[in-house]
């Protein structure tokens, strides 16, 4: 069964995806022949915004790596929906479920136009069993994901929503700011879900943070007083270090 979206074999034409995933921590230490074999079982996909990639409860047939764009992981119960996380380039998602052929615990959909590489699960499972180095790389990525989710859970339970937003802004300012300004990596609805608040609460929290030097114009955020914001966000800063 082929994944949905526009398909391109990544080893049959000079596309940037093959170099991008080769540099990923999961694959950078593989022997050339091992990576070439995986490339034979991989396709590059392009998705429109809000395309569903996989559904919760599915058994994974591919490992997905986001090369461009953004993917939201989410879950539904009846009429309620919750954001589980956002995956940005260059990252894989549902690694453990793919390796161990477990039902997916969330669904995945694109937030914006996205380029994603899908690698068939069976060759990855065989390589995991046969190659200790690759198995350690899988373990390292899984551990990183687990630590990130644990930190976010702690922040959800121990911090107010405005503290979570302040801390998230500090991380973005540290990693992506130019002259104290950065652009939100995705829309405000997705950001609100990612930080565990409603869009209305997000707007109120941005307004509250104006007293700490934050201004927002659509998706552009300006941090005018980082030290003041950091002093306010200190309760959250020790709990989490959002990467997206």
Predicted confidence (pLDDT) per residue in 186-201, tens digit:
999 999 998 999 999 9
pLDDT at 178: 75
| Sign of the four-CA dihedral 96, 101, 104, 105 | negative
Task: Measure the CA–CA gap between 76 and 155, rounded to whole angstroms.
Answer: 22
Domain with CATH 2.60.120.10 in the chain: 6-150
**Selection from 52, 70, 57 nearest residue 113 by Cα:** 70
Residue 9: per-residue pLDDT: 43
Average pLDDT for 63-78: 94
Q: In which residue ranges of the chain is CATH 1.10.10.10 found?
A: 159-237
- Of the two residues 7 and 22, the one the predictor is more confident about is 22
Instruction: Provide the 3-class DSSP secondary structure of residue 156.
Output: helix
Q: What was the pLDDT predicted at 236?
A: 64
Query: Tens digits of per-residue pLDDT, 147-189?
Result: 888 888 888 888 899 999 999 999 899 888 778 899 999 999 9
Tell me what pLDDT residue 157 has.
Answer: 87
Using one digit for the tens of pLDDT, what is the confidence trace for 93-146? 999 999 999 999 999 999 999 999 999 999 999 999 999 999 999 999 999 988
Cα angle 107, 158, 224 (rounded to 5 degrees) comes to 90
Residues 65 and 120: beta-carbon distance below 8 Å? no
How far apart CA 66 and CA 136 sit, in angstroms, is 21
Instruction: Assess whether pLDDT exceeds 90 at residue 237.
Output: no
CATH number listed for the domain at residues 159-237: 1.10.10.10
Nearest Cα residue to 90 out of 65, 110, 115: 65
How would residue 32 be classed by pLDDT, with cut points 50, 70 and 90? Answer: very high
What sign has the CA pseudo-torsion 52, 53, 56, 59? positive
**What pLDDT, on the 0 to 100 scale, is given for residue 11?**
42
What value does the mean pLDDT of the chain take? 89
Residue 5 has pLDDT above 80, yes or no: no
Cα(104)–Cα(97) distance, integer angstroms: 6
pLDDT band at 6 (very low <50, low <70, confident <90, very high): low
Per-residue pLDDT at 85 exceeds 80: yes
CATH dotted code for 6-150: 2.60.120.10
pLDDT at 202: 97
Residue in the structure block whose two tokens are 């079982």 = 41
Q: At residue 240, does pLDDT exceed 70?
A: no
Residue 13: per-residue pLDDT? 32
Helices H / strands E in the chain, number of each: 9, 12
For residues 5-16, average pLDDT:
48
Q: Omega of the bond prior to 30 within 30 degrees of 0, cis? A: no
């Amino acid at each position: 069964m082929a994944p949905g979206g526009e398909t391109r074999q990544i080893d049959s034409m000079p596309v940037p995806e093959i170099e991008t995933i080769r540099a990923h921590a999961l694959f950078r230490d593989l022997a050339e022949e091992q990576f070439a074999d995986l490339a034979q079982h991989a396709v590059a996909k392009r998705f429109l915004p809000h395309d569903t990639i996989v559904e919760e409860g599915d058994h994974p047939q591919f490992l997905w790596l986001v090369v461009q764009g953004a993917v939201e992981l989410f879950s539904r119960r009846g009429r309620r929906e919750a954001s589980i996380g956002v995956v940005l380039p260059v990252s894989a998602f549902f690694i453990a479920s793919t390796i161990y052929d477990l039902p997916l615990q969330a669904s995945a959909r694109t937030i914006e136009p996205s380029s994603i590489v899908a690698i068939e699960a069976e060759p990855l499972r065989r390589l995991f069993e046969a190659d200790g180095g690759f198995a350690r790389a899988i373990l390292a990525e899984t551990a990183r994901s687990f630590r990130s989710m644990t930190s976010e859970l702690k922040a959800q339970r121990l911090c107010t929503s405005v503290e979570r937003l302040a801390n998230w802004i500090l991380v973005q300012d540290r990693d992506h700011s130019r002259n104290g300004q950065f652009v939100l990596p995705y829309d405000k609805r997705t950001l609100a879900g990612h930080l565990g608040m409603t869009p209305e609460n997000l707007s109120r929290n941005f307004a509250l943070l104006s007293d700490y030097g934050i201004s927002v114009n659509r998706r552009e955020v300006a941090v005018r007083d980082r030290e003041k914001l950091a002093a306010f966000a200190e309760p959250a800063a020790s709990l989490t270090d959002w990467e997206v």
